[in-house]
Amino acid sequence: MFAFVKTSHVPFAATTGISAPLDLSRWVGKEGWTRLPKAIQRRFAVGHADTAYLGQMDLRCSVVGHLFAALAHLLGGPLTHMNMTNVPTRVRVSANEHGGVVWERSFHPEGQQQARIVRSTKEADADGSLLEHTDGGLSMSLDVYEENGSLVFCSRRFCLAWGRFRLPIPAWLTPGTCRVSHTDLGDGQFRFSLSMVHPLWGETFHQTGVFVDPS
């Protein structure tokens, strides 16, 4: 989700009036949330303390994915065009002042002094749905659910969002359906996996890696 540098954050929820802390369990549902391992429940709990997770990721991007990554960069898109394995990665998760949760991923490829940083924020939208957006307004509505003990996020549609304004983006103009899974591996470790599959061009991005939970 590019030599990205961190941009100034423009709070999305500041214009929607949404300030309640993000509670993913209400979207997952009581039964699904109960089936998740306790470690996942803790990592995604309401009001979880700011945390940094260290790990390594394998990153794959298709030729078409490169194009989408470049275009998304103009809107602060959380995509990277790197094709590398075992990339040292730091993921910082923190709450913002408007109830959202910021996910900032720093990739540290070997031999490169400057980290490549991508960032997105998950927040409740004004209509009660779950929205993930960049600082530039590129957004996707998400379904979130439990699947075989993993927490899964899956995009339903993309749009440009500024305040309450929404401009839908046709599916063929997006990198494809985004699916992210968080799977607990025990012993304080978990696997993060992301894939994006376009209806015409197939898989445009694939990212996966194992991280250590400092808790």
**Helices within the chain (DSSP H only):** 25-28, 30-35, 38-43, 63-73
Ordered per-residue pLDDT tens for the chain, 215 residues:
322 233 333 334 444 454 678 999 999 999 999 999 999 999 999 988 899 999 999 999 999 999 888 887 776 666 788 899 999 999 999 998 878 999 999 999 887 778 888 889 999 988 889 999 988 888 999 999 999 999 999 999 999 988 788 899 999 999 999 999 999 999 999 999 999 999 999 999 999 999 999 98
Q: Residue 144 sits in which domain range?
A: 25-212
- Contact yes or no for 156/141 (Cβ under 8 A): yes
CATH number where 45 lies: 2.40.128.20
Dump strand ranges (E) for the chain.
51-61, 84-95, 101-107, 116-124, 130-133, 138-147, 150-162, 165-169, 177-186, 189-198, 202-212
Residue 78 lies in a domain: yes
175: Cβ contacts below 8 Å, ≥ 6 apart: 65, 68, 69, 72, 79, 196, 198, 204, 205
Structure tokens at 82: 């790197």
Residue 190 lies in a domain: yes
Residue 12 lies in a domain: no
- Contact yes or no for 116/77 (Cβ under 8 A): no
Q: How far apart are CA 8 and CA 76, in angstroms?
A: 10
- Contact yes or no for 137/74 (Cβ under 8 A): no
**What total number of domains does the chain contain?**
1
Residue 45 lies in a domain: yes
Residue 6 lies in a domain: no
Structure tokens at 148: 């075989």
Residue 14 lies in a domain: no
> Residue type for 171, please?
A
Residue 46 lies in a domain: yes
Q: How far apart are CA 138 and CA 99, in angstroms?
A: 19
Residue 80 lies in a domain: yes
